[in-house]
Amino acid sequence: MNTRFSWFNVTSIVLGFAFLYIPILLLVIYSFNDSKLVTVWGGWSTKWYEGLLKNDALIDAAGVTVRVALVSATIATILGTLAAIVLIRLGRFRGRTLFSGLVFAPLVMPEVITGLSLLLLFVALGFDRGFWTVTIAHATFSMCFAAVVVQSRLLDFDKSVEEAAMDLGAPPLRTFMEVTLPIIAPAVISAWLLAFTLSLDDLVIASFTTGPGATTLPIKIYSQVRLGVTPEINAISTVMIAFVTVGVLLASYMTKRSSMLREREKRAVDAGAA
């Protein structure tokens, strides 16, 4: 008997996915609830989404969150791409182990420790906590994720394409900008989307590094939930789920497209060699 499709495995998978996604589905459904009580269904309505447009506090928090995510994701992608290039292209060099450990440390570091250490750093340097401290903190912990994504693409990169460009007289910088970067662009875009998504829903690190006038949406939602869940919280949470879902789908599409480009590149090289 093929145990791979046994009833036990199927039941376990169904229960696991149900445990993960049924609460999210209920949250989305109750965001269209006409009743003020989140546990009592009062019919379908979109008035809580209309109420979001009049809630200046939530709109301001959402604006701060998006701005932080855009800037931090861009910084993290640039630094992560450079770190991946150093680790892949420079080979063995003195301090490589230390450098690699510093780049990937946030992957295994608890967010509480990362947030507390950054808070102590900003206090020691005399930085006023606000937009830029949250942005730097998000770029710090998301850079390692961007480096992993780009590094995985560079591992099987065909260097003969770069060598051909340099043989034709292109300098290294031009070769990177016009040859290497377009080829690894799907991985870079996927890294940016991943960093953007991580910044968008971060709560722990932002709570340590935020300040007056820089309250992010997760922090705002958490502070209101402590006083009781309201239908508007369900509505804004549904909007966040939609944003994150779109980001994940785009990242998956970019990853799939990157793999397809690698296959085409490999077939072209094999055909040229033949």
Q: Domains of the chain, with CATH numbers? A: 45-273 (1.10.3720.10)
89-147 pLDDT, tens digit each: 777 778 778 888 888 888 888 889 888 999 999 989 888 888 899 999 999 989 999 99
> How far apart, in whole angstroms, are the C-alpha atoms of residue 175 and residue 3?
52
Mean pLDDT of the chain: 82
240: left (phi over 0), alpha (psi -120 to 50) or beta: alpha
Across-strand partners of 44? 33
Q: How confident is the model at residue 4 (pLDDT cuts 50, 70, 90)?
A: low
Of the candidates 56, 22, 42, 38, the residue with the CA atom closest to the CA atom of residue 231: 38
pTM of the entire predicted model: 0.77
> How far apart, in whole angstroms, are the C-alpha atoms of residue 253 and residue 136?
28
Q: What is the largest CA-CA distance in the chain?
A: 71
199-232 pLDDT, tens digit each: 988 889 998 998 887 888 888 888 877 777 777 7
